[in-house]
Amino acid sequence: MADINFDYHPQFFTATILEWKHLLKEDEFKDIIIKSLQFLVKEKSVVIYAFVIMPNHIHLIWQIQDGFKRDKIQLRFLKFTAQQMKFKLLQTDKLQLEHFRVNTSDREYQFWERNALSID
């Protein structure tokens, strides 16, 4: 039987905003998600088949491309979007930013739950 590389087929991915807060309700935060996905497509690390942005979470059906690792792409996506969300809140709503302050040794703010779901 031929070896099958299961890293390179469409996958369902869900990421949830911390404590299910409705951060993604505003278009400016949806735009951060969309622009990040566009970047990943442009660099040819993913193919996006479908996505939906809900007020407090996102769903994607995407395919990680040859030469890229799923965990690294997910981490880059979540880290970059979180950083952009922080920058946006620093500019527009510092009070709301405080709702994402966490008491951990590795970060001051957290936007995504740590249990993103990826299903093959």
Contact criterion met (CB below 8 Å) for 48 and 37: yes
Contact criterion met (CB below 8 Å) for 45 and 38: no
Whether the predicted model's global pTM rises above the 0.85 cut: yes
Cα-based distances in Å from 19 to 28, 31, 92: 20, 21, 21
> How confident is the prediction for the chain on average, in pLDDT?
91
**Tens-digit pLDDT profile for residues 95-113:** 999 999 998 888 999 999 9
> Which secondary structure element, helix H or strand E, spans residue 31, and what is its range?
helix 27-42
Identify the pLDDT of residue 1: 43
Low-confidence ranges of the chain (pLDDT < 70): 1-8, 116-120
**Tens-digit pLDDT profile for residues 52-64:** 999 999 999 999 9
Identify the pLDDT of residue 103: 85
